[in-house]
Every structure is written in C-alpha cells, then in structure tokens.
Structure 1
Amino acid sequence: MLNIAATLAHWCRTRRPCAVATVTAATGSTPLPVGTSLAVDSDGNVAGSISGGCVDGAVYELCRRLLAENGAPEQARFDSSDTDAWAAGLMCGGSISVYVQPIHPADQAPLATALTAAADERTVALLQITETADPDLAGRVLSLPADGTLTPQLPVPPQLTTRAAAAHRTGTSSLVHAPAGPHCAPASALVHTCRPAPDMLIFGAVEFADALSQAGRFLGYHVTLCDARPVFATRDRFPHAHAVVTDWPHRFLAHTSTDERTVVCVLTHDTKFDIPLLRDALRRDVGYVGAMGSRRTHEHRLDLLRAEGVSPGELKSLNAPIGLDIGAATPQETAISIVAEIIAHTRGRPGMPLADTSGPIHARTSY
C-alpha cells in the first residue's frame, strides 16, 4: 500500500472512494513483493502495479466490481497452474495471493495522515486487517507506532500487535497471524512499513559525481554531495543532489548519522581527502563503501590505510576500484556501473549476467 502512498493520500484527502489490491503472498518467479499494491478510484483511475503487468488487468476489473457493488473485501489467487490465471496473463511461473479491499476515506480517519507521512518519507507502519470474525475489525486499516499501540485502539489479538510491531522495527512488510486472545477473535493482518530514504554520500565534486547523484536519486536515495573546495561544490554543478556541502569529507562524515543502509562513494582519488575519510567510513555502521581510482592508485591507498591502522577485516569491506566491470567509459556509464554494484552488494548478489546464474531472478524486498 505504501508504494502508492502519495496517490492514496490524495484520494483520501479528497474523500474519493477506492479499492486497493495488495499482494499478501508471493512464491516462485514473481516480480513484486508482499505489501505491493494497485489501487483504483471511483472514477476508474489506477495507481501502482502488483505483478509488473501480468495480472493487473484482471485485478483492475475486480477493484472496479467491488467499488460498483460496494462489496466486501475479497481474496484472489493467480498462478501458472490456473487456466484463468494464464488467461489473465500470469506467465512468469510464480504465484501471488491478493487481498482486495474497498476503502471509504470517511471510515478510515487515520489512513490519510499515515499515507501523507509515508509520502513525505517519514517512518510509517500500517496494520491492514485481512481476516477476522470481529465485525468491528473487518477491513480496518490502523496506524501502528513502533511500540505497538494501535490507533484507533480496537480489540486486536495481542500476538498480532506484537508480531506487527516486530515487523515495523525491522522495516519489513509482511502478513502476520495471531490466535484468539482474551475478548479477541483470531486475526490476520498485513503490516505495511516504510522508512525514510537511505542516504547516499558522494565525496568529490567531480564530473562523475553529477551522473552518480542523478542515478542515486532515481534509485530513491537521499543524495548529499560533499567537497572541501567551494568553487567546485555548487548547486549549479550538482542539481540532482538533495544537498551540496562544502567541508572536509572526514569532518562532514564525523557529524553525519549513518546506518546499515547508508552508501558512501568516494570519487576524489586524492589521498589527503581519501585516507582520513575512508579510515573513518570503514569503521562506521554503513551498508556500502566504494572508492574510485586506478588499480595502482588503490594499491597505494591500501598501503596508506594500513599505516593508519585500518584492519584487514575493515579493508575487506572497501569496494575499490568502485563499480562493476561493464566497460563503462562515460560518467553516465560509470554511474550505472557504480549503482549496479551497490544494488548487487545490498541484495547479496554476485553481479553476474542472469544467463550465467540459476535460482530466483527477483530479490525479495518489501514496501
């Protein structure tokens, strides 16, 4: 649901009824993860996709029917063993289960607030009740703070909120189940979570940095460009970066929060900037550290980092020369090689041609 938060928030603010279809389970070769939604409003406008196009047409018609009939939520399943599913176009060999729910904004007061927060890239979690015998809970979408205190407060099984809160803390979207509790019927719910955009920190106001900042922004990173030289670190030169900072790289990093999703790209290949920055970056909680430069430059850089006391284990996490070997020549091609390596590193993939690998094609992610 949160993959189309901005559109849904607008529909809720304008009191526009809609139907939302959400993936609750996915197996095999399916392109989009649990929590992904497609929505249709009362005028027939559509937002999102749940299958990369395979069954979206059939789901669209189901949404339209539920809206026209003011019907109850429905469960649907599409897979390659089902004749109807093939007719709907699910040719990938996978299987998806979909929960389709009409939403009337007047009956879901907390929803617009939570969706607006998600569209603004704030941390948000929603609990969407998909199965329950309690008529007060059926079809409700509830705001879920990290402590598990639901808004509004309703008789939800305690294990459901506990499991949902755990999913919230890890930033995963998933289907959770709970048995009956005191004065509570058993229930199942989709937990929808989103977190603020991860940070991409680019050091070095060089030509490659402009292309990389554009690619990073396209991938959903909050991009910051930092360089100690004010004549080069300007907004005009790097219009795609969210922020352009003039400071010594290691000093800027020292005052910047990072986490396991943060990406650090060092493009300066100048030892007076690189060494103190990389020494500190390799000891931080970050997801990826890469550095530009020739193989000869990198070997010299490694010697200097060892002299600074950087351990072999820390050096092992340095991706340098930065990027995948795709024959990149231009800044734009180089940016593609860098973000391709970042994606492969983040997903734990080898970065090889799919034709030379086996197993699932699509990495399992969440919204």
Structure 2
Amino acid sequence: MLDIAEELNRWMDEGRSFAVATVVAVTGSAPRGPGAALAVDSAGTVVGSVSGGCVEGAVYDLCLQALRTGESVTERFGYSDEDAFAVGLTCGGVIDVLITPVGARAPARAVLRAALSAAVRGEPAALARVARGPAEILGRALLVRPDGTYEGGLGGQEDLDRTAEANTRAMLETGRTGTVGLEGCGWDGSYRPGGLTLLVESNVPPPRMIVFGAIDFAAALVRAGKFLGYHVTVCDARPVFATRARFPEADDIVVDWPHRYLRHTETDGRTVLCVLTHDAKFDVPLLQAALTMPAAFIGAMGSRRTHEERDRRLREAGVTERQLARLRSPIGLDLGARTPEETALSIVAEIIAVRRGGTGVPLTGSETPIHRERIGSGAENPANLHTVH
C-alpha cells in the first residue's frame, strides 16, 4: 500500500474510511508484484491497481464488503480452464490479495497512518501486516524503523512482536517487499502449526544512478533515470559542462574528477553507474574504483574499438577478470539507437534487463516468460481461491 502513500495519507488527513487491497504474493505471470495496492473509500472512489485491470472489479467489490463488515480477508485470484467465465488473471498467474478495512476506529489505523506519513516524507521504514493467520488478527500491523524501534503490534504477546520486528527489519535492511513466515508462532504466543505469514513493505530511499560525463547523451539519460525513480547525480570534472542549466532534472550536479568523487560517495547493491565519458583519462581510474565497489550495474559508453582499448588499459592497471566481468560495455541494448533519447532508452532497457533477469530479445516468437518470479513472491494457501478465464 506504500506505493499509493500520498493519496492514502491525504485520505487519512480528510478523515475518510477506506479499504485497501494489497498484493501479498505472486506465482507465475502477473502484471503487479507484492506491495501493489488498490484502495476504495466509503464513497466508492478508487486509487491504485493490483493487476493492471484483470481483477480490479472483483477487488473493488471485496473492498466495499470489507468496509461494511469491518473484517480483513485474504483472497486468491488464479487461473482455471474449467471456469472460463470466472473473474481473474488472463495472464495465467496467481496472486494473493490482502483486503484491510481502515475505518475511523480500525485497530491498525494509527500505525497505518504513521507508515503512510513516513513514506510520504521519504523516511526509511517497513510496514508488516498479518496476511495469513487467525481472523482476529488478520491485517494487524507493525511499523519498524531502521534502529529497531516499532509502533503498533500484532495483537498478541510482546515476544511475537519482537520476533516480527526482527524479521521485518531484516527485510528493511535489504529494501525488500514480500512475505515472511513466522513458523510455529501463534498470535497469543503459543505454538501454532503453520504459524503466521507477514506481508512486509519496505520504504527505502530511491536507488542512485550516477552518470559520469556531462554530455548530451547524459541529459537524456538523466530524464530516463528520473522517470524510472532513480535519484540521479551527474558528475564531470569540467565546470563549464556540469551546470544546472544543462541538467535541470538532475538531483545532484557534482564538479569533480569522477574517480575521486566515486571513492568518497556511497554506493550499494541498488546503485547504477553509467560512464559516458569514453575518455581514457577519466574512464580507467573511474572504472578501477567502480569495479571494486557495490553496485547493481556498471556500464561504459563507447565504440567497440574504444571498449577494446579501455579493456586493455584496465587489465594493465591490475583489474582482474572477475572484476571485468561486472562491466557492461559497450553500454546499452542493440536497438539501433542514434539520438541521445534513443541511446538513453537502450541504456535503461539494459539496466532493467539486468535488474529483472530479462534477455532483451523481442517477446514476439520468444518462449521466455513475460513475468518472472519475484523475490518474496511465493504464494501461501489462503482459504479462498478465485479462478479466471
């Protein structure tokens, strides 16, 4: 539900009652992943989406029902050739959806409000909700901060909340959204076969994209990176080129030698590094540093001849084969790109393919699955199953 935090936070401020449906788990092909949400207020207003249209109507009805009953429920939408007219996913996948009413006196309203406010402010936090377990605690919520402090509770004993906090914080530390099972934990602190399943939604700062080289291709890549949700930094040693006028959409503009800046800035396993300088005096020391640092993607622009020369220089500088294997060069997928905008599209297409495990080949005539399994998307077994045509 944190993906529609701004709208739901506004609804909270206005005192609206609403029900929110959140994708808990995905099996097979499905348009949206865990955490995707749709909400309906008491007047029937809708925000968000859980399936790209396939099951929205049925989920809408379930939200209105939850508002009437005040009860949370987990529903499954799947595929069956035996029921050609049932509501569900035409793509053949299975999704589990948690529907939670958030009325004026809902037990979890205060903690949900705190979670939404934190997401709107960009504060790192993770929201854990009971997605499978006894009906009396389904939808109960816990908001966990990076330092281990938390708000709310699962309605049971303190030991259960502490166990949930530890598991939720582990998800937050890696920025993951998905399910986590608390095996053998009963809501009242007793042993219970099967335990509980929590849906954990992590809200972390956006991943970084650092673009080295203040050229026209970089301006187009900045726009593409912002569109994909990255915090984009442009770095170049030349102050005449690295200007706000040339890169108005960049979050940060740094005038410094690229390798020096990179050595003193923070990267992690989600960071994308795009080297567009294609000049050996910048590229070699920069890539020497980059290939020893955590990053999700390291790519360098240049012709194949430039790549071969750069590769030779990096080897001479002591870069190992294992490190060189991390380098995507020449950067981008083969789209036949010519313009800066087309080139930027080819670069972000490769970034997405690397991130999601895509092949980059056309889907037409391909046998590869369109929607791959997501981390934390393993489906549980809620009682209700909706099948599809």
Provide TM-score, normalisation by structure 1. Answer: 0.91
Name 1:120's counterpart in structure 2.
Answer: 121
Give the superposition deviation at 1:242: 1.1
* Residue type of the alignment partner of 1:349: G
Name 1:339's counterpart in structure 2.
Answer: 348
Name 1:16's counterpart in structure 2.
Answer: 16
Kept after mapping to 2: 8 A contact 1:176/1:188: yes
Give the superposition deviation at 1:56: 0.9
User: Quick one: structure 1 residues 203 and 360, their matched pair in 2 at CA, closer, same or farther if it must change by over 3 Å?
Assistant: same
Structure-to-structure mapping, 1:215-226, within 5 angstroms: 215-226=224-235
* Residue type of the alignment partner of 1:166: A
Give the superposition deviation at 1:365: 4.2
Name 1:95's counterpart in structure 2.
Answer: 94
SS at match of 2:152: coil
User: Is residue 253 from structure 1 mapped to residue 254 from structure 2 by the alignment?
Assistant: no
Aligned mate of 2:168, from 164, 171, 188: 164
Deviation per CA, 1:157-181: give whole Å up to 9, x if none: 3654444343333332223333245
* Separation in structure 2 between the aligned mates of residue 264 and residue 131 of structure 1, nearest angstrom: 40
User: Is residue 184 from structure 1 mapped to residue 189 from structure 2 by the alignment?
Assistant: yes
Question: Unpaired segments of 5 or more residues in structure 1?
Answer: none
* Residue type of the alignment partner of 2:33: P
User: Quick one: structure 1 residues 209 and 341, their matched pair in 2 at CA, closer, same or farther if it must change by over 3 Å?
Assistant: same
* Separation in structure 2 between the aligned mates of residue 71 and residue 359 of structure 1, nearest angstrom: 43
SS at match of 1:252: helix
* Separation in structure 2 between the aligned mates of residue 148 and residue 358 of structure 1, nearest angstrom: 45
User: Quick one: structure 1 residues 64 and 351, their matched pair in 2 at CA, closer, same or farther if it must change by over 3 Å?
Assistant: same
Kept after mapping to 2: 8 A contact 1:228/1:246: yes
Structure-to-structure mapping, 1:79-158, within 5 angstroms: 79-81=78-80, 86-88=85-87, 90-104=89-103, 107=106, 108-133=109-134, 135=136, 137-146=137-146, 150-153=150-153, 154-155=155-156, 157=160
Kept after mapping to 2: 8 A contact 1:35/1:366: no
Name 2:38's counterpart in structure 1.
Answer: 38
Deviation per CA, 1:330-358: give whole Å up to 9, x if none: 11110010001111112233222223543
User: Quick one: structure 1 residues 182 and 196, their matched pair in 2 at CA, closer, same or farther if it must change by over 3 Å?
Assistant: closer
Once the two structures are aligned, what percentage of the paired residues are identical?
A: 50
SS at match of 1:355: coil
* Separation in structure 2 between the aligned mates of residue 204 and residue 10 of structure 1, nearest angstrom: 40
Question: Unpaired segments of 5 or more residues in structure 2?
Answer: 377-389
* Separation in structure 1 between the aligned mates of residue 139 and residue 91 of structure 2, nearest angstrom: 30
CA RMSD of aligned residues (A): 2.4
* Separation in structure 1 between the aligned mates of residue 214 and residue 172 of structure 2, nearest angstrom: 37
Bigger drift between 76-85 and 49-58 goes to 76-85
Aligned residue-pair number: 365
Kept after mapping to 2: 8 A contact 1:160/1:188: no
* Residue type of the alignment partner of 1:143: L
Deviation per CA, 1:274-314: give whole Å up to 9, x if none: 11111111111111111111111111111221222112221
SS at match of 1:35: coil
* Separation in structure 2 between the aligned mates of residue 206 and residue 49 of structure 1, nearest angstrom: 38
User: Is residue 271 from structure 1 mapped to residue 280 from structure 2 by the alignment?
Assistant: yes
* Separation in structure 1 between the aligned mates of residue 273 and residue 140 of structure 2, nearest angstrom: 41
* Separation in structure 2 between the aligned mates of residue 366 and residue 50 of structure 1, nearest angstrom: 17
* Separation in structure 2 between the aligned mates of residue 331 and residue 189 of structure 1, nearest angstrom: 45
* Separation in structure 2 between the aligned mates of residue 278 and residue 87 of structure 1, nearest angstrom: 54
